[in-house]
Structure 1
Amino acid sequence: MPRSISRDTRLCMSLSGRPGNFGTRFQNYLFEALDLDFIYKAFTTTDLPAAIGGIRALGIRGSAVSMPFKEACIPLLDELDASAAAIQSVNTIVADNGWLKGYNTDYSAVASLLQSHGVPREIDFALRGSGGMAKAVASAFRDSGFKRGQIIARNTETGPALAQSCGYHWKPELGNERPRMLVNVTPLGMEGGPDADTLAFTLEQVEAADWVFDVVALPVETPLIRLARELGKPVITGAEVIVLQAVEQFVLYSGVRPEGTLIERAALFARG
């Protein structure tokens, strides 16, 4: 029987330049399974101040924030949690009586995955990207003890700034270098995007790497991850990141932490 929606049902949402279905299906599955009076809906906007104002004015409980709004939303919020303040990037907004607080659950998800996968801290890596998500990923590497990193970004403002803030080097292109770990934090390989079939690194670079990490979550098997698996490389996928960060968002919205098997079922449903 479908859940009943009433005037007391709390709305959670997401703001993204290109909304997907994963968060909507994941969050709603958990709300229903745990009999919580919440509902979740994805949105996009061409008027970010008005959208954030709507969260405040309408009593919306919270919102996930994706590209390209992770940094642009910050001046519109009342407070930043330490997870967002340290990297100046927000992926979650929680509203309490009109007070909007920004968090970053991407950061904690990446740090957790680096540890659980046992990636050696002495490894040298190249991270492609310099946007809001790249800030979270690079900061997680830095705070996890990875010293030998390069930020690869064509943007001559955000690229050097990110590298400097994390103590890494910046280059507009990787060239012929062969780092032991490759990290993609750009839309290259993203399902439905203009570069869906594009590799973030060359075949030679993937062949030479010991680890490959692609933050793109859809498709689950991006061209980069598919190639790395074919070459027998250990990988960290965006699908892993999106589940961990979404669980933390769910906890922030509801105050309830689901148990592991329920999270697995929700993730399986969300990808279906």
Structure 2
Amino acid sequence: MPHKPPLGPQTRLCMSLAARPGIFGTRFHNYLYERLGLDFVYKAFTTTDLPAAIGGVRALGIRGCAISMPFKEQVIPLLDGLEDSAAAIDSVNTIVNDDGRLTGYNTDYTAIVQSLDDAGVSPAMPFLLRGSGGMAKAVAAALRHRGHQQGSIIARNAAAGQALAGLYGFDWHPDLTGRTAPLLINVTPLGMAGPDADVLAFPSALIAAAEVVFDVVALPVETPLVVAARQAGKRCISGAEVAVLQAVEQFALYTGVRPSAELMAEAAAHARQG
């Protein structure tokens, strides 16, 4: 295994900014630095002063910064440019610092496109997308990018649901009544660890009628929706898969190194132990 240099003046810092910092990214990136012998370190932060924090990224030469809610749109005016993945949805989850020039990316968007491609999801497949928040926007944009034309945004928030549907040319409905589709996508907290941990995001009848089920919830790895879909013999895309793909894209942007599939899986398993 390559030897990781000790921390010193040449060590490059990568970081994350979130309202509620998590442990997955820190453990994932630092594990890969160690295994690949890279002179990097990763640390999670929060802030109540976003402009000052981004100024620090620029001034201190911090190589990369992951951006989580609620900063994904607020950060855009503070950057020098957007890569296509971020410009497509006006949302940034990754900043790369090239000698003081800060460029915003959205690796959630690219990971979603890759996940749908890897699962063999046809662009002709109609969908039901439940949710209307920032991640729902990334999914809807990815679907439009892939050529999907038939689909519905399911959201109780009429303003947000109609805005998202209108932005990408899809339908909006306030609930699932009378709806069915071969592709089901959950982009709500239903099934996420916490008060909604046991809630099934789509009824069993809709799961039985579907071909592919995609749950963007990353924790737990096996959400009730994923478990039900696997038991029904459906093709599944899990939020845990998307989380790893987007983290690998961040890692490659920061370091210029793309880990092997085996090492990626090791890092993901290590990160989930936290």
TM-score with structure 1 length normalisation? 0.92
Instruction: State the alpha-carbon separation in 2 of the partners of residues 19 and 265 from structure 1.
Output: 22
- 1:161 to 1:198, Cα distance in 2 relative to 1, 3 A: same
Task: Tell me, yes or no, if the aligned pair for 1:48 and 1:73 is still in contact at 8 Å.
Answer: yes
**Which residue identity lines up with residue 247 of structure 2 in the other structure?**
A
- TM-superposed CA distance for 1:221, in Å, is 0.5
Q: What does 1:3-14 align with in structure 2 at a 5 Å threshold?
A: 4-14=6-16
- TM-superposed CA distance for 1:241, in Å, is 0.6
RMSD of equivalent CA atoms? 1.9
Instruction: State the alpha-carbon separation in 2 of the partners of residues 189 and 43 from structure 1.
Output: 26
* 1:208 matches 2:209: yes
**Matching residue of 2:198:** 197
Instruction: State the alpha-carbon separation in 2 of the partners of residues 154 and 45 from structure 1.
Output: 31
Instruction: State the alpha-carbon separation in 1 of the partners of residues 35 and 4 from structure 2.
Output: 12
Task: Tell me, yes or no, if the aligned pair for 1:9 and 1:37 is still in contact at 8 Å.
Answer: yes
Structure 2: which 5+ residue stretches go unaligned? none
Pairing partner for 1:45 from 44, 47, 69:
47
| Matched residue count | 271
**Which residue identity lines up with residue 176 of structure 2 in the other structure?**
L
- TM-superposed CA distance for 1:2, in Å, is 8.1
- 1:204 to 1:45, Cα distance in 2 relative to 1, 3 A: farther
- TM-superposed CA distance for 1:137, in Å, is 1.1
Instruction: State the alpha-carbon separation in 1 of the partners of residues 230 and 236 from structure 2.
Output: 7
- TM-superposed CA distance for 1:223, in Å, is 1.6
Q: What does 1:134-213 align with in structure 2 at a 5 Å threshold?
A: 134-191=136-193, 193-213=194-214
**Matching residue of 1:99:** 101
**Matching residue of 2:125:** 123
Instruction: State the alpha-carbon separation in 2 of the partners of residues 157 and 58 from structure 1.
Output: 41
Structure 1, 91-100 or 45-54: larger mean CA deviation? 45-54
Structure 1: which 5+ residue stretches go unaligned? none
Pairing partner for 2:34 from 26, 32, 35:
32
Task: Tell me, yes or no, if the aligned pair for 2:4 and 2:37 is still in contact at 8 Å.
Answer: no
Query: Secondary structure, in 3 states, of the residue corresponding to 2:55?
Result: helix
Task: Report sequence identity in percent.
Answer: 63
Query: Secondary structure, in 3 states, of the residue corresponding to 1:217?
Result: coil
- TM-superposed CA distance for 1:3, in Å, is 5.8
Task: Tell me, yes or no, if the aligned pair for 1:150 and 1:170 is still in contact at 8 Å.
Answer: yes
* 1:85 matches 2:87: yes
Query: Secondary structure, in 3 states, of the residue corresponding to 1:115?
Result: helix
Instruction: State the alpha-carbon separation in 2 of the partners of residues 104 and 217 from structure 1.
Output: 17
What CA deviation, in whole Å up to 9, does each residue of 1:204-263 have, x standing for no partner? 322332221011111101121112122222210011111111111011111112222222
Structure 1, 97-106 or 154-163: larger mean CA deviation? 154-163
